[in-house]
Amino acid sequence: MDGDGFAELIVATEWGPIRVFKKQEGRFVDFTKQWGLAELTGWWTSVAAGDFDGDGRLDLACGNWGRNSTYELYPATGFRLFYGDWSGAGGVQMIEAWRSGTNWIPVHDRTWLARGLPSLAVQFPTHEAFGRATVRDILGAAYDKASYVEAAQLSSIVLMNRGSRFEAIPALQAQLAPAFSVNSPSDGAGSFHQPKLFRHGVRHFPRRCRTWPVASRQGRWIVCGDRFKRERNLCLW
Ligand SMILES: [Ca+2]
Ligand SMILES: [Ca+2]
């Protein structure tokens, strides 16, 4: 990434950023913040490197869950996953939430959440009462101590290396479905403008995602070097 001749370790994390580790004195040091990626959190699934614009600096293509799920029902203000042992039974409970102003609102309904938090049925006797609840209302005194992770955006993106920082560019139609891998096959021309292949789709979404299965076995071929404007679908098998 920084042209010093030594490769960095790039990690795509779920409920976190694309993380950059640089090897120094035999150990990996986290340089995510220095590259300006600490706040660019998502449900990252995959990452691949290549010099997409031919300037000699390695860029990154990053797969995310895309912009075609039920999560588009919520404002694009990011999501937060609160977690903790709120029941005191030694397990971990979680509440997924979206932001409304300064409040965090549960994504899932009372029936769904009560499976993991049975006390909700007593705390909020009706769905109407729960419908007005924020995460702070649900957790009460435990809210201020609650741990959480965040996903600021769900777009698959390309990160262009500008020397000491990255410029994020949405990967256009790669948003149509979750991208579960990004590949960098040779374009056969030996140039730096490597095509990227975003592999989309799953047969079955986890039930928690509250969305329907989408077409699987689909990919999207993105020819780089022209600002990712030429794309087409591929059937992978
Ligand atoms: Ca390096
Ligand atoms: Ca480049």
The 10s digit of each residue's pLDDT in 50-88 is 888 889 999 998 989 888 888 988 988 899 999 999 888
Ligand 2 center to 23 CA (angstroms): 21
Ion ligand 1, residues whose Cβ is below 5 A away: 2, 4, 6
Ligand 2 center to 54 CA (angstroms): 5
Give the C-alpha separation, 66 to 109, whole Å: 23
Give the C-alpha separation, 63 to 158, whole Å: 9
Provide, rounded to the nearest whole percent, the portion of the chain with pLDDT above 90. 53
Between 183 and 159, where is the model more confident?
Answer: 159
Phi, psi dihedrals of residue 70, rounded to the nearest 5°: -65, -15
- 87 Cβ partners below 8 Å, 6+ apart? 93, 117, 119
Q: What pLDDT does residue 207 have?
A: 42
Ligand 2 center to 16 CA (angstroms): 24
Q: What pLDDT does residue 24 have?
A: 92
